[in-house]
């Protein structure tokens, strides 16, 4: 079983390495170095202005430590098929989970050490803590994180339906109590409390793991969510094929659809609009690019630069929307319904016009706010209108007409 985890871990690390290479490209590393340097410089400057004895200093330290203690989840690398294939090996799975927890410790505990290390100068300045106390607090933090990860593991053996002992409120609660005790009394107290918690969970686990079934479905869901979070992060930098996109009801946007009357020729507008809004894949893209564009335009000054940037962002969004046309090609009814392909294309053009129109308006609004020139605002508006019209009404149908011919 431990061998199984090791093979899975190798595969997992290879995959992560592949994405990390893409994320930490030269440009990004360069930007990151500057950012870290700037932050470090700012932090050290801020420390110089602080004195000992602020009442809020321990509160800040407490909040930071509690927050950091939650970082680093239990990575089980469990897969969906496991609940079928590994079911007969349920007892042996314990060894697997123990190894998984040991692996999860690495990144989680490193984060704790870095955080305490970064916080130490702040505490020694504002709270006048000696080095020994800081080290003790660091140890308490490590034991606490160990206990929290053990809670994650132990909760896999709880009875289905019971509130999990690694519920976020419980984790935040015990972290708050233990660290507050350490900060306002002695760090040693925090060490003792954290140890008590850790041992208590360990004893519970030792008593239960042989009797209780693993909560397979929930563990799989937790692991899927964890991976989804990682993929989402990578997705900001590069394409992640595993991210099929999730579907959200977004009931608060239901009012929007009322504008589309359920008529025969509106079939695809009806379908596309809901697919666009509720699927995260394309709507996420549009929202992200629009927000980035707005932020950028807010900080950019000049006569021509805003015009070019606004045009660029509209082009980017319009271009990325094109594949959405084929979104429903694998649903057989797209071909069976008695609806002409031309109608489908017309609906898509309407949708693209609508989306680009709203985006263009938002970008234009930011340009107007950020730039005092009437001329810049006017030219931006003109360029945007022409671009949206061309992209949506001329370019999109031309490009997609070909794909209709090929696919029928």
Partner 1 sequence: MALEVSHVVGGYSQIPVLKDISFDVKDGELVGLIGLNGAGKSTTINHIIGLLTPHKGTITLNGVTIQQDSQAYKQQIAYIPETPVLYQELTLREHLEVTMMAYDLDHDQAWATAHDLLKTFRLDNKLDWFPANFSKGMKQKVMIVCAFLTQAKLFIIDEPFLGLDPLAVNDLLQLIEDRKRQGSSILMSTHVLDTAQRYCDRFVLLHDGQVKTEGTLSELQAALPEAGESLNDIYLSMTKVDRR
- Write out the residues near partner 1 by the rule CB under 8 A: 247, 249, 262-264, 266-267, 270-271, 274-275, 278-279, 328, 331-333, 335-340, 408
Closest CA to 69 of 189, 154, 151, 164: 151
Query: Taking the mean position of all CA atoms in its chain, how far away is CA 215?
Result: 25
Q: Could you tell me if 364 and 297 are in contact, meaning their C-beta atoms sit under 8 angstroms apart? A: no
Q: Which is nearer to partner 1, 266 or 373 (CB)?
A: 266
- Give the distance from CA 149 to its chain's centroid: 21
Nearest-approach distance from CB 246 to partner 1, in angstroms: 10
Question: Exposed, middle or buried: residue 367 (CB in 10 Å: 0-12, 13-18, 19+)?
Answer: buried
Give the nearer residue to partner 1 in terms of CB position, either 71 or 331. Answer: 331
The least distance separating partner 1 from the CB of residue 263, rounded to whole angstroms, comes to 7
Q: Among residues 78, 231, 260, 242, which one has the least CA distance to residue 153?
A: 78
Choose between 226 and 278: whose C-beta lies nearer to partner 1: 278
CB atoms within 10 A of CB 43: 12
Task: Quote the least distance from Cβ 259 to partner 1, whole Å.
Answer: 15
The residue to which tokens 């100068």 are assigned? 121
Residue with Cβ nearer partner 1 (274 or 346): 274
Q: How far is the CB of 261 from partner 1 (least distance, A)?
A: 10
Question: C-beta of 278: minimal distance to partner 1 in Å?
Answer: 4
Q: Cβ 408 to partner 1, closest distance in Å?
A: 8
Nearer residue to partner 1 within complex by CB, 315 or 328 = 328
E strand spans, 206-356: none
Work out how close the CB of 337 gets to partner 1 at its nearest, in angstroms, rounded to a whole number: 4
d(CA 200, CA 197): 5
**All residues at 6 or more sequence positions from 218 whose CB lies less than 8 Å from its CB, including other chains:** 156, 160, 164
Nearer to partner 1, 212 or 280 (CB): 280
Residue among 65 and 286 whose Cβ is closer to partner 1: 286
d(CA 379, CA 375): 6
């Amino acid at each position: 079983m431990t061998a199984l985890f090791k093979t899975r871990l190798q595969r997992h690390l290879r995959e992560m390495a592949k994405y990390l290479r893409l994320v930490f490209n030269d440009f990004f590393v360069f930007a990151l170095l500057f950012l870290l340097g700037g932050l470090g410089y700012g932090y050290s400057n801020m420390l110089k202005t602080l004195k000992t004895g602020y009442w809020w200093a321990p509160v800040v330290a407490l909040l930071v430590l509690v927050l950091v203690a939650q970082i680093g989840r239990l990575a089980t690398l469990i897969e969906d098929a496991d609940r079928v294939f590994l079911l007969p090996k349920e007892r042996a799975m314990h060894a697997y989970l123990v190894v998984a927890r040991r692996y999860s410790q690495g990144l989680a505990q490193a984060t704790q050490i870095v955080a305490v290390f970064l916080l130490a100068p702040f505490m020694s300045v504002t709270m006048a803590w000696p080095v020994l106390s800081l080290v003790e607090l660091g140890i308490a933090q490590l034991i606490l994180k160990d206990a929290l990860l053990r809670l994650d593991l132990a909760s896999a053996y709880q009875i289905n339906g019971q509130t999990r002992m690694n519920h976020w409120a419980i984790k935040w609660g015990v972290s708050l109590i233990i660290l507050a005790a350490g900060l306002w009394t002695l760090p040693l107290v925090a060490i003792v409390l954290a140890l008590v918690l850790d041992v208590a969970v360990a004893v519970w686990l030792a008593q239960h793991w042989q009797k209780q079934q693993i909560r397979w479905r929930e563990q799989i869901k937790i692991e899927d969510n964890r991976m989804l979070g990682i993929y989402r992060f990578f997705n900001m930098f590069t394409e992640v094929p595993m991210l099929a996109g999730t579907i959200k009801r977004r009931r608060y946007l239901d009012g929007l659809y009322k504008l589309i009357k359920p008529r025969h020729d509106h079939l695809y507008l009806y379908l596309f609009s809901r697919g666009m809004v509720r699927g995260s894949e394309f709507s996420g893209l549009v929202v992200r690019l629009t927000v980035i564009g707005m932020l950028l335009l807010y900080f950019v000054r000049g006569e021509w630069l805003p015009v070019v940037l606004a045009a660029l962002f509209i082009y980017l969004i319009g271009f990325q929307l094109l594949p959405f046309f084929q979104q429903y090609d694998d649903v057989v009814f797209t071909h069976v319904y008695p609806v002409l392909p031309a109608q489908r294309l017309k609906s898509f053009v309407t949708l693209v016009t609508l989306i680009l129109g709203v985006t263009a308006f938002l970008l234009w609004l930011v340009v107007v706010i950020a730039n005092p020139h009437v001329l810049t605002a006017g030219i931006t508006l003109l360029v945007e209108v022409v671009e949206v019209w061309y992209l949506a009404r001329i370019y999109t149908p031309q490009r997609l007409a070909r794909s209709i011919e090929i696919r029928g």
